[in-house]
Amino acid sequence: MSSAIKHSSIYHFISAVAEQKPAQIALRMVRQVEPNLSSQTLDYQQLFGDICQTARLIKATADTDRPVCSFLLPNIPQTHGIMWGAESVGIANPLNPLLNEDALLHLMELAETDVIFALGPLPGTDIWQKAQAVAKRLDKPVRLVSVMMAVEGYDQYENIVKDFDRSELPTAWLPELDDIASYFHTGGTTGTPKLAKNTHRNQLACVAEHHGSLSLGAGDVVINGLPLFHVAGSMINGLACLCAGVEIVLPTVAGFRDPAVVANHWRMVEEYKVTVSGGIPTSVASMIGIDVDDADISSLKYLISGGSPVSASLCQDVKKVTGLELYQIFGMTECAGGTAMPNVDRPTVPGSAGFVRNSVPIIIQGAKKPGDSGELLIQGDVVFPGYLGKNESPLIDGFLHSGDLGHIDEQGYLFITGRAKDLIIRSGHNIDPALIENTLEQHDAVSMAAAVGKPDAYAGELPVVYVQCYDGMDVSEQALMEYAASNIAERPAAPKFVKILPELPTTAVGKIHKPTLRADAATVALEEAYGGALNVQARQLDSGQIEIFGVESIDDIDVEKLQQLVSSLSMLLRLNP
């Protein structure tokens, strides 16, 4: 066991915290924000009891040594009981409720699901309906349990969990350090999401990174408005905070997706004495767009962000509005969320993705000196053992190849400058281009499709797709947009525009040349930002930078505005007037 890992499983760590701080608030569920704030709390002793009860419920449901629990749930107290209870006696498989029925079916079958917990029928959502449909289509019988709302003919979690003991779990049931704790879905290379296996060692190593860098403890209160199917919500703002024994504020069932939550963010900071807040960059940008007015935010120490690149201008805006630093975390699903953490002992370095600590070795492939660019290679206990159903090791020469391009400066700060792989990141949501491409290529008129990210100052990137049609086929770009929106499995992956080209650009060996398309998408973004007033173009360099050219004078453009826009694509701006 690494010296930084203090316990042999998630269960053992939470058990130790509950023993040390039984009456400390663990979770505060904000029930409403308007017209007045109201909340309910759960202390660590109660949370640990919920975990033990839920673990027994899951264990009783499936006749297997390590039952798999899939769930479609918001970030609410019940979800924490289910997730950590599942990890205590089996494997948790948190899934994005926005996935369509076929994608959910694939992931639950791949995981060999034994029990499903899903949010009961709620106006405006189809989560329960999808869960019902998937449960009926699975190869083996599963138990479907509703959460929050009762459904005739189905068990409700809040009712049936009461029948189980809240005492400590039998030692024989408990996992070991290298047992699988969870599956997290992530974009693959075939258009179908993959399940990344996270062990207890991976997750506890992430916890150790969090504790070693953020130093949270007595009196700290953290807002977590992120979902638990994303490692930022479950590991960084979830498990790591629980293992530090701090209070986590869950801002309504909708989290940061609720505009009222964002609008009342500073009120929550004042009311609950929040010390650390933040979220994906788009959420942070929305927060600081709301006037602090007379809210007392003196309890805040700093804000954190991650999931997609944080622009230098956003750091500056946070400083201007709050007087505080905005630190960035660089994490990967394949590293349980903890890769490069902030260095809160120093002011933030705008543009940096985090600070490289010795406990998670990161090297830049081919770099001879600080500042040299290359692909990020990662080692350490945070690195996952591989994808479910894939026997080959994810490591090459002992390192995980991240697919991200960047450099590390002399002070140890990491900078992301591009990607060696084609993943599109929209507001922290990973989108596999193949998901979009495979869908469009099923249309009778489409010969080939290539999806890339278009820079967006708010979302970081938005998916767009370029298509080449068969000769003689007559189809409009609008018709292809509507086809994509109706057939793509993930709603966030629906392209923002479809552009038909006579031929897609290719390399000398006939492969589609995506840098050309990314540059075109960047040019479109520039034209949109300036209303077409500037005759500028963009191209992607081998370094991963975007070069802007066709500008007669730097004085003609707003360099800061361009920097914010282009850096949202994880690339550096290079002006070439």
Instruction: Assess if residue 335 is contained within a domain.
Output: yes
How do 247-251 and 221-223 pair as beta strands? parallel
Q: What is the pTM of this model?
A: 0.80
Rg, C-alpha atoms of the chain: 24
Instruction: Assess if residue 210 is contained within a domain.
Output: yes
Where does 66-198 have alpha helices with state H?
A: 77-89, 101-111, 127-137, 157-160
pLDDT at 413: 94
571 shares a domain with 434: yes
222 shares a domain with 361: yes
Instruction: Assess if residue 3 is contained within a domain.
Output: no
457 shares a domain with 400: no
Residue type, 417: T
Instruction: Assess if residue 483 is contained within a domain.
Output: yes
Rounded (10°) angle between helices 281-288 and 312-322: 40
User: Which contiguous run of DSSP H or E holds residue 548?
Assistant: strand 546-549
The CATH number of whichever domain residue 459 belongs to comes to: 3.30.300.30
User: Which contiguous run of DSSP H or E holds residue 434?
Assistant: helix 433-440
Instruction: Assess if residue 411 is contained within a domain.
Output: no
451 shares a domain with 400: no
173 shares a domain with 237: yes
Where does 302-377 have alpha helices with state H?
A: 312-322
Instruction: Assess if residue 415 is contained within a domain.
Output: no
The CATH number of whichever domain residue 298 belongs to comes to: 3.40.50.12780
Residue type, 40: Q
Q: Residue 399 carries which DSSP code?
A: E
- Total length of the chain: 577
307 shares a domain with 225: yes
Domain count, the chain: 2
pLDDT at 558: 55
465 shares a domain with 380: no
433 shares a domain with 337: no
479 shares a domain with 390: no
386 shares a domain with 307: yes
Boundary of a domain, candidates 374, 405, 436: 405
Q: Kindly list the distances between the CA atom of residue 569 and the CA atoms of 36, 54, 119, in Å, as whole numbers in the listed order.
A: 39, 42, 34
**465 contacts 501 by C-beta, under 8 angstroms:** no
Instruction: Assess if residue 2 is contained within a domain.
Output: no
Boundary of a domain, candidates 372, 405, 438: 405
Instruction: Assess if residue 418 is contained within a domain.
Output: no
347 shares a domain with 311: yes
pLDDT at 490: 79
How do 537-540 and 498-500 pair as beta strands? unpaired
> What pLDDT, in 10s, does the model give residues 109-145?
999 999 999 999 988 899 999 999 999 999 999 999 9
pLDDT at 249: 98
Which bin fits 282, alpha (ψ -120 to 50), beta or left (φ > 0)? alpha
**178 contacts 198 by C-beta, under 8 angstroms:** no
CA angle 206, 207, 209 (to 5 degrees): 65
Residue 476's domain comprises 424-576
> What pLDDT, in 10s, does the model give residues 359-386?
899 999 988 999 888 889 999 999 999 9
Round to whole Å and give the CA distance between 405 and 5. Answer: 29
428 shares a domain with 388: no
pLDDT at 310: 77
Question: What are the tokens at 508?
Answer: 């000398």
Ranges of the chain whose pLDDT falls below 70: 1-3, 187-192, 309, 418-421, 507-511, 529-577
Round to whole Å and give the CA distance between 421 and 433. Answer: 10
Which SS3 state, helix, strand or coil, does residue 425 take?
A: strand
